[in-house]
Amino acid sequence: MNSSSLQKNWIEWLVFSFSAILVLGVIGFLIFSAVNLGDAPPDLKIHLSASQPEGKYFRVPVKIKNDGDKTAEGVQIEVVFNEGKADEETATFEAAFLPRHSSREGAVVFKTDPRKGKLEARVLGYEKP
């Protein structure tokens, strides 16, 4: 074996350099994230969109956002429709897993058109993973 067969060409050095920079960047990001990870509990916010008719029913899109630093599991959401009468219509929505600083979308369905009254949503509860 001569010494020229053991030398790397410029493509091998380029691939090695790119890979090393990429690996060091990922390690740096993980260290930065671990150091700056807060300890705030889940901070859940609910946004209801306009209802949309679907056959005999009305679908209301629901978006749940977790602004906290901890993950929430099994998030139970209750949406109540009230027309101003004594009777209310209630629907529930569950997000199985809601990581920190993320959101999930789903929908609830009502028999009555929610545009004719008032919609209110609240978090019923969640679990710590």
pLDDT of residue 77: 94
Q: What is the DSSP string of 6-68?
A: GS--HHHHHHHHHHHHHHHHHHHHHHHHHHH---PPP-EEEEEPPPEEETTEEEEEEEEEE-S
- The distance between the two most distant Cα atoms of the chain, rounded to a whole number of Å, is 93
Q: Are residues 86 and 26 in the same domain?
A: no
Q: Are residues 99 and 121 in the same domain?
A: yes
* Average pLDDT of the residues in 106-114: 91
| Full residue range of the structural domain in which residue 51 is found | 44-127
3-state DSSP assignment of residue 115: helix
Q: Are residues 58 and 102 in the same domain?
A: yes
Q: Which residue has the tokens 């306009």?
A: 50
Q: Are residues 24 and 59 in the same domain?
A: no
pLDDT digits 0-9 by tens, 10-47? 899 999 999 999 999 999 999 988 787 778 899 999 99
pLDDT digits 0-9 by tens, 43-78? 999 999 999 999 999 999 999 999 998 999 999 999
pTM: 0.71
Q: Are residues 55 and 96 in the same domain?
A: yes
Q: Are residues 58 and 76 in the same domain?
A: yes
The tally of domains found in the chain comes to 2
Identity at 20, one-letter amino acid code = A
